[in-house]
Amino acid sequence: MTEGQIIPRPELAPRAPENDRHADIAFLLDVDGVVTDPTKKQVLEPQIFTDIEANLASGNPVTLNTGRSNEWMIDRVISPLASKVKDKGVLNNFFAVGEKGLTWVSFDSQGKLIKGVFNREGVPVEGYDLKVFLDAQTASHFSALAGYARALIKEKYSHSTFFDDSKHAMVSTEMIDGFNQPQYAAEQTQFTQELKDILKKLGVEGKFNVDPTTIATDIQMPHVGKHLGAQRVLDWLGRNKIAPKHYVAVGDSASDLEMADELKSQGKSYEFRYVNPGKPLEEKLTNGEDKKPKHNLKVSSQPFSKGLVEVFQSLKKTA
């Protein structure tokens, strides 16, 4: 976690403020298993960059919404994209939200990459000064939790797991690339319990939770997630006075449905494209309510990145 210069960016990539600008479609894309290949963790379909560029150029905002760090996204997705885009001006239709709604990456009007965190009011602030979005007590809890998690990995899990140093606003551990995933999953139950025991020991069980996913196990604040990421995207569009007619969220996991939930709760016209046809979406029930957006859900025939290309192709015809 590093300290940086605080430069408020209340209107990232400012544009002519007098008029709302309409867009046909705004995209909200999960990253792992959608933009990047789920096992190779890179963009393997060059067509994805071509399609993103074409949408940006035609005025359709393209946004990323992920638990990944800014640095991971920049390295694997955003820099390769920016280097391929011919007219750098179109990059101000691009916005990325990292760390489950806590960090962001964008471009200024000159096409220069800018990045930072959201402050406690949800406004993007350039740089990584933790003080702008964590109170001192929370920051010190994170630092203690990070120390314990690191020690636990070193002691028992270094064969399968690494501590993700690139995260700023959460404690994140991940499966080592190429490790046997079923074996990771088998050990994860115990690892998760040991992380929960650390929360208990520090007396912060209510303040943070442990989130085990396919290849990662995170300690985070309970309000973060894909719904918060989607909210950040909608805020960014609002600040930039971009008014999309329709929203398309694309994901490969049940948790990505939170994007659809957020779009629905804000009264937007939306659809959710699911690109993991081999794994049926589980019905997620919250407070007795069916969260699956049955009427707005479409499943791709091809999996993952190929499914995203399919989504772009299908919308090209109707746009």
Closer Cβ to Mg ion, 53 or 252, answer by number: 252
DSSP state of 212: E
156: helix, strand or coil: helix
Are the beta carbons of 94 and 100 closer than 8 angstroms?
Answer: no
Asked if residue 33 binds Mg ion (CB under 5 A), the reply is: yes
Contacting range for Mg ion; rule: CB under 5 A; set: 189-197, 198-206, 221-229, 250-258: 250-258
Closer Cβ to Mg ion, 30 or 126, answer by number: 30
Q: CA 218, CA 205: separation in Å to the nearest integer?
A: 14
Work out how close the CB of 16 gets to Mg ion at its nearest, in angstroms, rounded to a whole number.
Answer: 35
Q: Which of 32, 53, 129, 211 binds Mg ion (CB under 5 A)?
A: 32
Closer Cβ to Mg ion, 211 or 252, answer by number: 252
97: helix, strand or coil: strand
Work out how close the CB of 31 gets to Mg ion at its nearest, in angstroms, rounded to a whole number.
Answer: 7
Q: Which of 9, 30, 74, 133 binds Mg ion (CB under 5 A)?
A: 30
User: Cβ-closest residue to Mg ion?
Assistant: 33
Count the residues of the shown chain that bind Mg ion, applying the rule CB under 5 A: 5
List the one residue out of 28, 62, 25 whose CA is nearest residue 230. Answer: 28
Q: Torsions phi, psi of 77, nearest 5? A: -125, -50
Asked if residue 307 binds Mg ion (CB under 5 A), the reply is: no
Work out how close the CB of 62 gets to Mg ion at its nearest, in angstroms, rounded to a whole number.
Answer: 16
Asked if residue 218 binds Mg ion (CB under 5 A), the reply is: no
E strand spans, the chain: 7-8, 21-29, 62-65, 94-98, 103-107, 113-118, 124-126, 161-163, 171-175, 209-212, 216-220, 242-251, 270-274, 285-286, 289-290, 297-299
Asked if residue 258 binds Mg ion (CB under 5 A), the reply is: no
Work out how close the CB of 304 gets to Mg ion at its nearest, in angstroms, rounded to a whole number.
Answer: 9
Q: Which of 252, 261, 262, 271 binds Mg ion (CB under 5 A)?
A: 252
Q: For the packed helices 226-239 and 257-265, what is the interaxial angle rounded to 10 degrees?
A: 50
Work out how close the CB of 75 gets to Mg ion at its nearest, in angstroms, rounded to a whole number.
Answer: 17
List the one residue out of 126, 119, 89 whose CA is nearest residue 9. Answer: 126
Are the beta carbons of 196 and 209 closer than 8 angstroms?
Answer: no
Closer Cβ to Mg ion, 40 or 201, answer by number: 40
Contacting range for Mg ion; rule: CB under 5 A; set: 32-40, 100-108, 167-175, 301-309: 32-40
Work out how close the CB of 37 gets to Mg ion at its nearest, in angstroms, rounded to a whole number.
Answer: 11
Contacting range for Mg ion; rule: CB under 5 A; set: 21-29, 159-167, 253-261, 281-289: 253-261
Type of residue found at 55: N
Distances, alpha carbon 243 to alpha carbons 18, 22, 106, in Å? 13, 5, 18
Asked if residue 211 binds Mg ion (CB under 5 A), the reply is: no
114: helix, strand or coil: strand
| Contact residues for Mg ion, defined by CB under 5 A | 30, 32-33, 252-253
